[in-house]
Every structure is written in structure tokens, then in C-alpha cells.
Chains A and B, each alone.
Chain A
Amino acid sequence: QVQLQESGPGLVKPSETLSLTCTVSGGSISSYYWSWIRQPPGKGLEWIGYIYYSGSTNYNPSLKSRVTISVDTSKNQFSLKLSSVTAADTAVYYCARDEGYYGVWGKGTTVTVSS
């Protein structure tokens, strides 16, 4: 079955850019939407944005000015970039397959914003 794995730095300095990659295994990235979702410590879930395998995107309006999501179909990967990070961006970041609902999730990766 399809599995997702997030990867990237666990520590990012304030004002820098957070970069994460999600690798899709056990299936093709084609024909689905793929999302990034985050969860600050002790808090709820926040959708960040999605990308279709063709490259079309949509972002949470509250983060839109700082977010870029891209896809590399040759590697079966999609990526997240979040610029100008602050401590408020400290969270567990999940990638997930987006069918409106999220039936397949990565295990999540913790990103801490600190100098």
C-alpha cells in the first residue's frame, strides 16, 4: 500500500526558510492531490496547502504569502517551502494524500524554529 515519508531539517533559524520533502512509495504520485498539514505542540491540525501531480497548487490563505509546494513526479516526491519562519511555525509537519479527506499520512517530522 501507499506509504509517505517526510524528510528535512529538524531545526530552522528564525527568518530562514523551512524545506521538507515527502517521498511517496508503494504507488504513483500521479492522479492524486497531495497535502501538507502541520500541528503545533499540544494543538490541533492546520492544513497548509496541496499540490496536484500536474503541478497545480492551492494554499491556506493565512500562509499563502510564505508557502510554496512543488512536485517531482520522476522521484515520486513533493516538497514544502515555508519562508520567513518564526517560533509560531514550530510544529510536527505531516504530508498526506488528499482526497478531500486524508486517508494516507506520513509519520510526521518535527520542525523547531530556534536560533
Chain B
Amino acid sequence: EIVMTQSPATLSVSPGERATLSCRASQSVSSNLAWYQQKPGQAPRLLIYGASTRATGIPARFSGSGSGTEFTLTISSLQSEDFAVYYCQQYNNWPGWTFGQGTKVEIK
């Protein structure tokens, strides 16, 4: 099973600042990597797929990069609505697609 490791566990950022979230795979997942945002009491929302393609309706301040085992989600200028938990997920290697444990982005 591919293990996805996200860092940091918690990221404290001021509104308007840049946030950089990392996700590492225990073996290569090519570019088959997605990012999700989850707010309390809500289902996750797809932000990025294919490591760098924004999903429909996702603002341009969200960007994804990386391939193989190292991936990054960047939020260029944090808005109040961006404070949430973010998950990465690989969909390259079987058995079973796997998620990271999440990074919580909180207000500094």
C-alpha cells in the first residue's frame, strides 16, 4: 500500500500570506495525485487533480505541483474561506487509492 505523508500537520498563516503544503508518497505515483479541501461538517471538495490541474470553479490562487513522490499545494494569498484541512490522495498504485493524514491551515 502506498503511504501518503503530509507536512506539516498544522500550518499557521496570516490572511493574505502564502501557504505551502507538502505531500510525499512512499513510492512513485507519477502525476496521479489529487488535493482536497475540507471544512468542518462538510464533505471534501476537489481542488486539484493530475497533480496540477485545477478542478472546475477552483480559484487561481490554488496551484499544485510535483510528480513522482513529492508534491506541493500552494495557496498564493490566503483568504478567510481557505482556513480548512487539506488532504492529498494518490490514485496511481493499487491496492486502493490512499489519502494523506491531512494538513490543517489555521489563522495565525
Please tell me if the beta carbons of B44 and A61 are within 8 angstroms of each other in the complex.
no
Chain B contact residue count (CB 8 A cutoff): 23
> In this assembly, does B74 line the interface, its C-beta being within 8 Å of a C-beta of chain A?
no
| Complex CA–CA separation, A60 to B1 (angstroms) | 10
Residues of B within 8 A of A94 (CB): 43-44
Provide the bound-state CA to CA distance between A44 and B9, in Å.
12
Interface string of B10-35 (1 = CB under 8 A from A): 00000000000000000000001010
Nearest chain B CB to A82 CB, angstrom units: 16
B95–A61 CB distance below 8 A:
yes
B89 at interface by CB-CB < 8 Å: yes
Question: B99–A105 contact, CB under 8 A?
Answer: no
Q: Quick one: closest B residue to A1, CB to CB?
A: B56
- In angstroms, how far is the closest chain A Cβ from the Cβ of B6? 9
Residues on A with C-beta less than 8 A from B45 are 105
Residues from 34 to 90 in B contacting A, C-beta threshold 8 Å: 34, 36, 42-46, 49, 55-56, 87, 89
- Whether B96 pairs with A103 at a CB distance below 8 angstroms is no
